[in-house]
Structure 1
Amino acid sequence: MTHTSPSGACLDEAQQFLAAHPDAPAFDIVMTDCHGIGRGKIIRRHELEALYRSGRPIPTNIFAQDVTGRDVEATGLILEDGGADQRCWPIPGTLALQPHVNRGQVLVSMFTDAGLPTDVEPRPVLLRQIERARQAGFTPMGAFELEFYLVDPQPDAQGRHGPARYPLTGRRPIGPNALSVDELDEVSPLFDAIYEGAAKLGLTLESLISEYGVGQFELTIRYRDLARAADDVIIAKRLIRSVARRFGVEATFMPKPFGDQSGSGMHLHLSLADSSGANLFADQPDNSLSPLMLNAIGGVRATLGETMLILAPFLNSWRRFASAVYSPASDSWGVDNRTVALRIPGTPGVGGATRHFEHRVAGVDANPYFVAAVTLGAALDGIRNHRDPGPPTHGDGHAEGRGRSLPRSWLDAIDRCEHSAFVREILGARLHHAFLAIKRAEYEQLAAQATAVEWDHYGFII
């Protein structure tokens, strides 16, 4: 195998793909920014081998942009080194075909001239925590669940988007239809195409669920090593959005697109394995829960308030917590309880060999690399310090209200993140500074705008 890349990618991978797909004319090269958005270029077929031989320059200011792609000068990254590019190299194992567009796709990561990962990219943030876990004898394993809405791209007379029509029948959903198999049948042509694309992209999508909101769905992704689990989210969201558009609808990953409907989360399932692959969170011989897992949960609880900006990074993220419909804005934990923030699925003694915990707070808008990094980092701290998670919640966790240690708003979360030594250590000083500068710029921009709702409430009344 010919290794030419600091990322570990091999030229053989590109050559074998070109031979297997002689009709693929172009390739999406995708770099993930601070918001979890794929940015990059589409290159032609004859350029692929050069990507593997010598990388591809991309401007570093990709990590200094707000969610709309505008530069934020306060990050300090805009004109660094005169606005020079740095080289991006393929992430091994991510080169695959997108069958619905007949283009290839490969995720890339940015490196310095010395061959080191750049310190302002999200993916290396997670890789550092994974290496820390390996040094302690752990292999992090995980998977994400994605909730999202399918909506009509054409707004109504009031300028609002509504649920999309079903591709099979053309009917429009008129109310909640949670867990309806018939509804899944009506959208099956679209999801059949998504599953076909996922198979080609090396992405194992599993259960499809009709969720609690009108036009809301959930897809689960197969459990695997944590770095690839986070990669899976980037690949899955691009695939879902792209296929939906070819059916004349849009997939929205806003966490709260409709105020009267349930929000969309991105639940992270996490466990630690040993060097042989055995689950270290498995139940004890007496069917009790793993002390290691409980210490990990204790660590995550201890830092949850500081990490809320990671878990809820946008203004719309905080609308998801306005109504508690399986959207826990708390630091509670419990067993087989969907109203808590940190849930242990199942009951002790049942399925104990595959035991793990589920972090349910993050919205589907969050960056999966950041979410996985702060969760793993906090879990490792909890294990190292033998942190007690405290008593579990029984019954309705929403009745307990929001944890007193948690931020109350987006601005509060920005302030908490700014003063968090934990988040600064996880992200690194430069990325921590840049991320906060972006969030403050977004907050200030939106705070200065009068919304349509404000006009409805106040415009001709007060």
Structure 2
Amino acid sequence: MTKYKLEYIWLDGYKPTPNLRGKTQIKEFDHFPTLEDLPLWGFDGSSTQQAEGHSSDCILKPVAVYPDPARKNGVLVMSEVLLPDGTPHPTNARATILDDEGAWFGFEQEYFFYKDGRPLGFPEHGYPAPQGPYYTGVGFKNVGDIAREIVEEHLELCLEAGINHEGINAEVAKGQWEFQVFGKGSKKAADEVWIARYLLLRLTEKYGVDIEFHCKPLGDTDWNGSGMHCNFSTEYMRTVGGKAYFEALMAAFGKNWKEHIDVYGPDNDKRLTGKHETAPWNKFSYGVADRGASIRVPHSFVKNDYKGYLEDRRPNSQGDPYAIASRVLKTIAEVDTKAVAAA
């Protein structure tokens, strides 16, 4: 029998964006534990904005399991939060989202490294040289001395944990980076984004560096904000598609623009201003290879008879991938494929 370190990870009740929480339980198994092997566990919800002190018990229900590469015999246990009666907690967004294994999601998570209250690499006062050389940049003057070390280590941790991590790059602003995660099914894709975020936050503890997920941390300045562009497709989009269906889909996205913005992360009005290759938060648009549109349509999508994937550029870096994926699927579900085909 081996003693495993089970790190139960969940989302707390803070608003407008939840924080990741985690605590460790030690249990013996004669094999790497499966989801079915893992017990429910509890925590004090009064310390996480999820319960009152007079009735503080909350329950953790394991929903996904990954090896923890940073620990010997470590296990990462993504968990949902339940009420004492076993029903989903009001903060448990995962329990009620639409899910479809035929729906594929790719999230592009942008973020800033922060140290001493400013982006990593910024001078103590003022700003560094303007944007331009930092995106996909190399060399000390562009990326500094520890940022690449962190992102490379984070990449290895994700791959060893079984996260479907698809790439990294330095982003447009100094101290800003991005990683990409792809998953089949909204819950699977979103679980892996949250675990990747957790691994990044835990990793940077030893470097004395913080991660800033706010979508516009530098305020109203000539510096890019951070997004979490959502690339999505369904089986119908990949195999049937068609221009008529695409136009009906865009009409549905346009009609529901506010419902999307409402769950695409807080403070998007500060990021989606029409500047820095963003569409205004309150206007919907789409365009082929247009980085300034709400939805960017890849050239490959059009060339392939309007089949493939689309990129919603409005979700921001603070967004909850559970809510984002679910909202996308809700809008897609409004389009009657039979009616489109008949027309």
Which TM-score bucket, shorter chain as reference? 0.7 to 0.9
**Which one of 178, 181, 191 corresponds to residue 135 of structure 2?**
178
- Report the counterpart of residue 105 of structure 1 in structure 2: 76
Q: Quickly say closer, same or farther: Cα 1:380–1:252, change in 2 above 3 A.
A: same
2:225 is the counterpart of 1:268: no
Q: Structure 1 length as normaliser, TM-score? A: 0.60
CA distance in 1, matches of 2:76, 2:251: 39
Give 1:6-405 correspondences, 5 Å limit: 19=2, 26-33=5-12, 35-45=17-27, 52=37, 54-58=39-43, 69-70=48-49, 78=52, 83=55, 85-92=57-64, 94-99=65-70, 103-111=74-82, 117-118=88-89, 120-126=91-97, 129-130=98-99, 139-152=102-115, 154-155=116-117, 161-164=118-121, 174-176=129-131, 177-182=134-139, 183=142, 187-259=147-219, 260=221, 261-273=223-235, 280-282=236-238, 289-313=242-266, 316-322=267-273, 324-328=275-279, 329=281, 330-348=283-301, 350=303, 355-383=308-336
Question: Structure 1's 150 and 386: CA in aligned 2 closer, same or farther, altered over 3 A?
Answer: farther
Q: Give the letter aligned to residue 237 of structure 1.
A: R
CA 1:307–1:354: 2 relative to 1, 3 Å: closer
The SS at the match of 1:83 is coil
- 2:21 alignment partner, SS class: strand
Measured in 2, the distance between the counterparts of 1:269 and 1:205 equals: 14
Q: Distance in 1 between matches of 2:190 and 2:204?
A: 22
Structure 2 unaligned spans of 5+: none
Identify if the C-alpha distance between structure 1 residues 354 and 289 changes in structure 2 by more than 3 Å, giving closer, same or farther: closer
SS at match of 1:222: strand
SS at match of 1:104: strand
1: distance between equivalents of 2:330 and 2:82?
23
- Shift in alpha-carbon separation, 1:295–1:118, aligned structure 2, 3 A: farther
Contact 2:59 2:81 survives alignment (8 Å): yes
Q: CA offsets per residue over residues 240-290 of structure 1, 9 Å max, x none?
A: 2222232232221111111321000011111112xxxxxx21376xxx845
1:38-77 superposed Cα distances (whole Å, 9 cap, x missing partner) = 2343323459989945411245668xxxxxx557xxxxx7
Give the letter for the 2:70 counterpart: P
Contact 1:268–1:360 (CA under 8 A) maintained in structure 2: yes
SS in 2 for 1:139: coil
Q: CA RMSD in A?
A: 3.5
The structure with the greater share of residues assigned to helix is: 1
SS at match of 1:144: strand
Identity %: 18
Aligned-residue offset at 1:341: 0.6
Task: Flag the 1:238–1:53 CA change in 2: closer, same or farther, 3 A.
Answer: closer
Q: If each structure's strand is expressed as a fraction of its own residues, which one has the higher value?
A: 2
User: Quick check: 1:142–1:224 contact (8 Å CA) kept in 2?
Assistant: yes
State how far apart, in whole Å, the 2-side matches of 1:243 and 1:202 are: 17
Say if 1:351 and 1:247 are closer, same or farther in 2 by CA, change over 3 A: farther
TM superposition score normalised by structure 2: 0.79
**Structure 1: which 5+ runs fail to align?**
1-17, 63-68, 72-76, 156-160, 166-171, 274-279, 388-462
